[in-house]
C-alpha cells in the first residue's frame, strides 16, 4: 500500500462514509498501520492511500509494538473543540520533507465507530488532539499546508512547487 503524495487529486476528493464493517475494512486498516509505521508516521487517513472513505488510523507512539495505542476511527465526528488553541510543528506523510507550524484546538471530543461499527466516544488533548485533527482534516479534503502559518508556508513554497512538478512528470510518463 503506497502513500499518495501531494498534489495527487485523491487527497482532495470527497470521502464516503464507511458502511461495510467487514473483513475488507479490517484489512485496509491493517495495511494503513503498516504503511504508517514503515514511513515513520503517527497517523494516516484513508484518502492518503487512495481509499476515499471516512476512515483514519493513528498511534501517538508511532511504534508498531505499542498496539494498545492503536486507534481506528470510522466516520469520526468532531463534537467539541476547545476555543483555546496552540501552535505546534506538524509533518504529513503525503509531504515527506515538509514540516510547518499549525495552530489547532488543544482539546476535542470525538464520536466515531470502530471496525465493527460500534459507536465510541473519545476526549483527546494536546498531541493526540493534534493528530486526530490533522487526520480528520484529510477526510474533509483539507491538507496541513492549508492551515500552516504564513512563515512556514513561505518556507515550504519551493518544495511544494517541486512536488507539483514531480507529480506532473510522473503523470506525463504514465
Ligand atoms: Co497528513
> For the segment 90-133, what is each residue's pLDDT rounded down to a tens digit?
999 999 999 999 999 999 999 999 999 999 999 999 999 999 99
CATH number, domain of 57, equals: 3.90.45.10
Whole-model pTM: value is 0.97
Cell numbers at 11, concatenated: 487527497
Residue of 66, 90, 135, 169 with catalytic role: 135
Ligand 1: centre distance to CA 48 (Å): 8
Expressed as residue numbers, the domain containing 41 is 9-173
The domain total for the chain is 1
Query: Which residues, in sequence order, are CB contacts of 63 under 8 Å at separation 6+?
Result: 37, 69
CA of 9 to the centre of ligand 1 (A): 14
Phi, psi of 140 (to 5 degrees): -95, 5
> Does residue 78 sit within a domain?
yes
> Does 1 fall in a domain?
no
- How far does CA 167 lie from the centroid of its chain? 20
* Structure confidence by residue, pLDDT tens digits, 67-96: 999 999 999 999 999 999 999 999 999 999
| Distance in Å, CA 117 to ligand 1 centroid | 24
Is 90 labeled as catalytic in the residue annotation?
no
Please tell me the distance from the alpha carbon of residue 29 to that of residue 51, in angstroms, as a whole number. 11
Mean pLDDT, the chain, integer: 97
Structural contact between residues 127 and 140, judged by C-beta atoms closer than 8 angstroms: no
Q: Longest Cα pair distance anywhere in the chain, in angstroms?
A: 47
Q: Is 39 within the bounds of a domain? A: yes
Amino acid at each position: 500500500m503506497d502513500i499518495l503524495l501531494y498534489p495527487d487529486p485523491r487527497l482532495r476528493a470527497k470521502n464516503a462514509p464507511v458502511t461495510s464493517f467487514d473483513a475488507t475494512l479490517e484489512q485496509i486498516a491493517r495495511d494503513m498501520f503498516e504503511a504508517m509505521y514503515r514511513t515513520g508516521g503517527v497517523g494516516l487517513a484513508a484518502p492518503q492511500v487512495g481509499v476515499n472513505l471516512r476512515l483514519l488510523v493513528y498511534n501517538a507512539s508511532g511504534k508498531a509494538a505499542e498496539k494498545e495505542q492503536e486507534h481506528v476511527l470510522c466516520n469520526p465526528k468532531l463534537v467539541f473543540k476547545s476555543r483555546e488553541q496552540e501552535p505546534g510543528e506538524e509533518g504529513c506523510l503525503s509531504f515527506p520533507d515538509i514540516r510547518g507550524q499549525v495552530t489547532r484546538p488543544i482539546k476535542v471530543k470525538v464520536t466515531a465507530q470502530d471496525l465493527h461499527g460500534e459507536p465510541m466516544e473519545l476526549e483527546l488533548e494536546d498531541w493526540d488532539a493534534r493528530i486526530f485533527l490533522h487526520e480528520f482534516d484529510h477526510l474533509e479534503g483539507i491538507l496541513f499546508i492549508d492551515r500552516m502559518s504564513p512563515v512556514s508556508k513561505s518556507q515550504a513554497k519551493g518544495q511544494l512547487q517541486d512536488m507539483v512538478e514531480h507529480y506532473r512528470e510522473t503523470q506525463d510518463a504514465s
